[in-house]
Amino acid sequence: MTASGGDAAAPAPEIVVDGLTRVFGRRDVLRDVSFSVERGGFVALFGPNGAGKTTTLRVLATLLAPTSGSVSIAGHSLADDPTPLRRTIGLISHSPLLYRDLTAYENLRFYADMYGVEDREQRITELLDRVELAHRRYDIVRTFSKGMLQRLAIARALLHRPRVLLLDEPHSGLDPHAVDILDGLLAEIRAEHTFVMVTHHIQKGLELASQVLILDGGRIVFRQTGAVDPQAFTAVYREHVREGAVA
Amino acid sequence: MSAAPALSGRRQFWALLRKDVVSELRTKEMLISMFLFSMLAMVVFHYAFTATGDIDLSPFTGGMLWAVFVFASLLGLNRSFVHEKDEGCLDGLLLCPVDRVTIFFAKMTGNLIFLGLIQLLAVPVFTVFFVTSGYWADLSTFVAVLVLADIGICVLGTLLATIAMSTRARDLLLPIVFLPLIVPLLIAATAATTEVFSGDVTWATLWGKLAFLLGYDAVFLVAAWGTYDFAIGE
Amino acid sequence: MSAESINEAGATPTTRGKTGWRRLVDVPVLFVAAGVSLVTGLLLVFWVAPEEATMGFPYKILYFHAPIAWCALLGYLVAFVAAILYLRSNDARWDRLGMCGVRLGLVFSLLVMATGMIWGRSSWNVWWSWEPRLTTFLIACLMYCGYFVLRATVEEEERRATFAALFAVIAFINVPITFLSTRVLPGDMQHPSGVVEGGGLVGWMYPAFFVSMVGMTLLFFALLRNDLRVERLKEELAYIKNRLGS
C-alpha cells in the first residue's frame, strides 16, 4: 500500500485512507477503498462514471462522511473535529467556487477571512500576481472568462497554504490556452504540495502522477506506483474496467 | 495557522455577513422585489376588504401587516442561499474550517437585516394606508414586537431554507413547510400588533404575547443550533 | 436469480423456514386484539354508557374522537423519536418508522377533524370552529403534509431521510406551541370542552372510554406494524428489480 521508494525510515504518509466505505441502505458507493500518499506525492484516480472517484474526493474534502473506515490527512483524522483538517486541504473543482457578484479581491478576501489567513492583504496580492490576474483585482467576477475563473479558483485554493490539494477534473471545460496556464501553475506548485486528482484525461493524469489508481464499482481495481506508460495504461484500463470507454 | 478559535469565529461571521450584504446591495434585486411585493400586497388587501364599501379596518390591521411581511419574507428567505446554490459555491463554503452554526447565524442575521430594511420603508407606508389612530407613544413597544417577530421568522425561515435549498423544488417547498410552522408566531404577533395599532396598549395584556414571541424565538433558535449540522450537509 | 441468491442479497425471510409457534408471528395478532377491543367498545358505547346530561346522544362520538386524537399524536410522537434515533445512528430503518408514523398520524388527524366536524354539526350546527384543538390538528395536518412534499423533492436517499427527520423534529416541537398560541388569542373558544377536560365522565362512561382508548391504540400499532412491513417489502422489491436490471 505505501510507496515511499523502499526507504526504511520513511516519514508518515501525508494521506492515509483505510477501508473507506460508504453505504446507504443497500447501495455500496465505496467499498473498502484503501491507499496512502507520501508527502509530495501525486495520486491520479481514474475510472468510469459512477465508480466512486468523486465520492472519494468529497470524503477527503470532508464534504461527505464515510460509513466506515478511516481517513487521515496531514496527521488529522476525519473522525475528529474536521476543522483542523479543513485548514490543510484545498479543493480545485471544475466549478470555480467563486461568487459572481463580488470582485476578485472581495472573493479572495472572503475566503481569507474564513480560513483565518493572518497576512491577508499580502497573500491576496501575491497570489493574484502569481495567477496573472492582478490587473483584474477590482473587477466583478461575472465578467471573467472560464480560464480566468479557473486561475482565480487556484488562487482561492492556495490562499490558506494547504498542504494537500484535491483536484476534481480541473481541466474540464477549459480551452487549450487556459489548460496551458493551469498546467504551468500545477507544475510550479507541484513540489510544495501533495495531490489527489480525479480526471478522465489520461495524458495529464499520468504526466504528473506518482501513483495511479483505477476505481470501478466503488472498489480499487488497479493500483501502481511510479511512472506508467500511457499506451500500456490504456490497455490496462480497458482490461480492468467493464465499460471500456476512455477519454 | 492557529488563530484563537473564538476570535476567528467572529471574523468568519462578519466575513459571511459582509459577503451577503455586499452582494445584495450591489444588485438590490431581492430588496426591490420584496419592497414592491409588500406594496402590492397592501393594495390587494385594501381591495380584498373594502368590497362592501369603505369600512373601518382597525381590527384587521395587525393581521394585514403580518400577512404582508410573512409573505414578503418568503421571497427573501428563498434567496438565503441563492448565490451558493446557483453559482455552485456551497462546496466552497462547506470546505472552510467554519462552525456550521456560524454559517447559520450569519445567514439569519443577513435575512434579518434585509427584512428590517424592508420594514423600515413599508411600515410607514402601511401606517399611512391603514392605521387611523396614532401609535407614536407606543413606538418602542411596536418596535419590540417587530424585532421579536422578525427574529422568529428569520430563525425558522433560515433553517427551513437551508433544508429546502438542497431539494429539487426549492422555491416551491419553502412556503409549504414554512407557513404552517410560522402560524403560532403569526397569531401572537398579530394580536400584539393589533393592540398597538388600536391605540390602547396595556402591559397586562401585552406581556403574555411578547413572552410567547420570546419563547418561540428561543425554542427554534435552540432547535436550529442543534440541528444545523444536519441541515446544511454532512 | 435463485432463491438462495436473493436471500444472500439480504432479503428478509418471511415464514419460509419457520416452524411451529414461530408461524404465529404472521397471524395478525394485533389486528385481532384491536378488533375485539373496538367491538367491545362499540357495544359499551351504544348499549351501556348513559346519555350525557346536556349533549344527549351525539356526544358519544367523543368515544372515538378522543382516542383517535390521542393516536394521531402518538403517530407524531413515534415519528419524533424515530427521527432523533435516525439522526444519531443513520440507520435507514428509523427513517422508515418515522415515515409510517407520520402517515398514520396524518390519517388519524383527518379522522379527528372529520369526527370533530360531525360532532360540531350535530350538536351546535357548525361545520367548523376555530377552537384550539381542532385548529392545532389542522395545522398539524398541513405541516405533516409538507413532510411528504419534502420527501418527494429529495432524490438522494440519505439526504431525504436526514431532512425528513429534521422536519419531523421541528414539526413535533411546533404542535404544542401551536396549541398554546391558539389559546393566546382571545375570542373564539365556543367549543365546550367540559367532558374532554375530565369533568363530566360518570359511571359507565369510564369503561366505555377506556376500552375504546385501548382498542384504538391497539389498532394504531397493528396498522403501524403492517405499514412497516409493506414499506420494507417495497424496498426489497425495488432492490431486487435494480439488481436484475443492472
The DSSP call for residue B198 is H
pLDDT for A244: 44
Give the model confidence (pLDDT) of C106-120 as tens digits: 999 999 999 888 888
Q: Closest to C239 (Cβ–Cβ): which among A24, A26, A67?
A: A26
- Return the percentage of chain C with pLDDT > 90, whole number: 35
pLDDT for C185: 63
Out of A66-80, A226-240, B115-129, C64-78, pick the least confident.
Answer: A226-240
Buried b (16+ CB within 10 A) or exposed e, A1-35: eebbeeeeeeeebbbbbeebebbebbebbbbebeb
pLDDT for A5: 42
In the chain, the amino acid numbered C155 is: E
Position A226 confidence tier, pLDDT thresholds 50, 70, 90 = confident
Mean pLDDT of C4-32: 53
B6–A contact, CB cutoff 8 A: no
DSSP sequence for B8-27:
HHHHHHHHHHHHHHHHHHHH
Give the model confidence (pLDDT) of A109-147 as tens digits: 999 999 999 899 999 999 999 888 999 999 999 999 888
Nearest CA in chain C to A66: C90
Higher pLDDT, C150 or C19: C150
The answer to whether the Cβ–Cβ distance between A25 and C157 falls below 8 Å is yes
Out of A70-79, A162-171, C25-34, C225-234, pick the least confident.
Answer: C25-34
Q: What Rg, from alpha-carbon coordinates, does chain A have? A: 18
Give the model confidence (pLDDT) of A176-197 as tens digits: 877 888 888 888 888 888 999 9
Which residues does chain A have within 8 Å of residue C10's beta carbon, measured at their own beta carbons? Answer: 26
* pLDDT at position C191 over 50: no
Higher pLDDT, C186 or A34: A34
Substitution target from C87, C158, C240, C246 for chain A, most A beta carbons within 10 A = C158
Tell me the average pLDDT of chain C: 79
Q: Which CATH number fits domain A15-98+164-240: 3.30.160.40, 3.65.10.10, 3.40.50.300, 3.40.640.10?
A: 3.40.50.300
pLDDT for B221: 96
The answer to whether the Cβ–Cβ distance between C174 and B181 falls below 8 Å is yes
Give the model confidence (pLDDT) of C145-171 as tens digits: 999 999 998 888 888 999 999 999 999
pLDDT for A89: 92
Q: How many structural domains does chain B have?
A: 1
pLDDT for B65: 94
Out of A6-15, B10-19, C7-16, pick the least confident.
Answer: C7-16
B17–A contact, CB cutoff 8 A: no
C92–A contact, CB cutoff 8 A: yes
Q: Could you report the predicted ipTM of this complex, rounded to two decimals?
A: 0.87
Instruction: Count CA atoms within 13 Å of residue B114 on its CB side.
Output: 33
What is the nearest CA distance from A68 to chain B, expressed in angstroms? 14
Contact B39, B125 (CB under 8 A): yes
**CA pair distance B132, B151, nearest whole angstrom:** 27
Ranges in chain B, pLDDT < 70: 1-7, 234
pLDDT for B42: 93
DSSP sequence for B76-116:
HHHTTTHHHHHTT-HHHHHHSS--HHHHHHHHHHHHHHHHH
Report which of B108, B109, B103 is spatially closest to residue B9, judged by C-alpha positions.
B103
Out of A216-230, B37-51, C39-53, pick the least confident.
Answer: C39-53
Helix (H, G, I), strand (E, B) or coil at A35: strand
Name the residue ranges covered by the structural domains of chain C.
Answer: 29-50+61-190+203-245
- Return the percentage of chain A with pLDDT > 70, whole number: 91
What is the nearest CA distance from B138 to chain A, expressed in angstroms? 41
Per the structure, the complete domain to which residue B186 belongs is given by 5-232
Substitution target from B10, B25, B81, B95 for chain A, most A beta carbons within 10 A = B95
